[in-house]
Amino acid sequence: MTAHTSPARVARLGQNQYGKAEVRVVRVVRDGATHHLKDLNVSVSLSGAMDDVHLSGSNANVLTTDATKNTVYAFAQKHGVQSAEAFAIHLARHFVTRQEAIHRARVRVEEYAWDRIGPREGGHSFVRDARETRTTEVGYDGTRWQVVSGLKDLVVLNSTDSEFWGFARDEYTTLEETRDRILATEVAARWRFAWNSDDQSPPAWEEEYARVRGHLLDAFAGTYSFSLQQTLYAMGARVIEQTPGVDEIRLSLPNRHHFLVDLAPFGLENDNEVYYAADRPYGLIEGTVLREGAEAAIPVTD
């Protein structure tokens, strides 16, 4: 190399995205004396013609993350929050169609549920329902939509109808076989809708959520289990079979082990009655169930 030759470039900009994370927005609908509440945590990621901001210092293509946050609040007022999915779709469409430099938007929403205190109708008092967190992730590139909705922290337990035996053994295997154990897990599930274009009418997001959640719980409760893997497949297959608008579901099921406590030192029997609920380590059982003919598109890791 001569002194005048510029050195070979060794670095190159790869995938990049930017936006505002965790915009907490609470929307109240005042229907006379009856108030309704939506409580969301919204994260927006934008990508597109963003080489300059990384390479040259020009911010000309940068819609500020501050404006992104403001848009979330303004849209909550202007459009309301019919569902987490509908709200995310509104936002993604806005960013991609209004800013030439933005070619793709990903909007993630977590939704926290509140129950009414007092009569089912009426009132303005709520108690946070700690059951589970609802999630959605909407992707839009100006043409195609991808909506992956889900839930996390849904804790479930079967106190019987679970066995685990006949497993492979090596020199480190000490686990005893069991014909009756507690099966407990904290369900994290993400399901991808077939809907992907404005040419089709979108699913009824709220109803679909309730339906999928119901199928997950029914399949967990109704499956006589020989492993958490088998239960996982049963839960996913139930959703795919019963929800025509869903093409793919991915489940992550930590095995919340419940170990029988040895009470023999105290002269007591323990006939599957007293358990130690361990919090770690835990088995982690994960898998995807697809509609026949559908391609996998939910990322394996998040």
Question: Per the annotation, where are the binding residues for 5-hydroxyisourate?
Answer: 65-66, 164, 181
Q: φ and ψ at 226, to 5 degrees?
A: -105, -5
Of the residues 43, 149, 158, 227, which one makes contact with ligand URC according to CB under 6 A: 227
Annotated binding site for O2: 65
Query: Which 245-274 positions form the footprint of ligand URC (CB under 6 A)?
Result: 255
Q: Report yes or no: 201 and 253 within 8 Å, Cβ to Cβ.
A: no
CA distance 56 to 112: 41
Task: Please confirm, yes or no, whether 257 is among the known catalytic residues.
Answer: yes
Span interacting with ligand URC, options 77-85, 150-158, 224-232, 233-241, rule CB under 6 A:
224-232
**Closest approach of ligand URC to the CB of residue 127, in Å:** 35
Looking at 69, 94, 215, 257, which residue is catalytic?
257
The residue (of 106 and 257) whose beta carbon lies closer to ligand URC is: 257
**Residue 71 engages ligand URC in binding (rule: CB under 6 A):** no
Footprint of ligand URC on residues 279-298 (CB under 6 A)? 283
Separation CA 248–CA 220 (nearest Å): 18
Question: Which of these ranges, 39-47, 63-71, 199-207, 222-230, lies near ligand URC under the rule CB under 6 A?
Answer: 222-230
**Is the backbone of residue 22 left (phi > 0), alpha (psi -120 to 50) or beta?**
left
Q: Note whether 175 binds ligand URC by CB under 6 A.
A: yes
Contact positions toward ligand URC, by CB under 6 A? 164, 175, 227-229, 255, 283
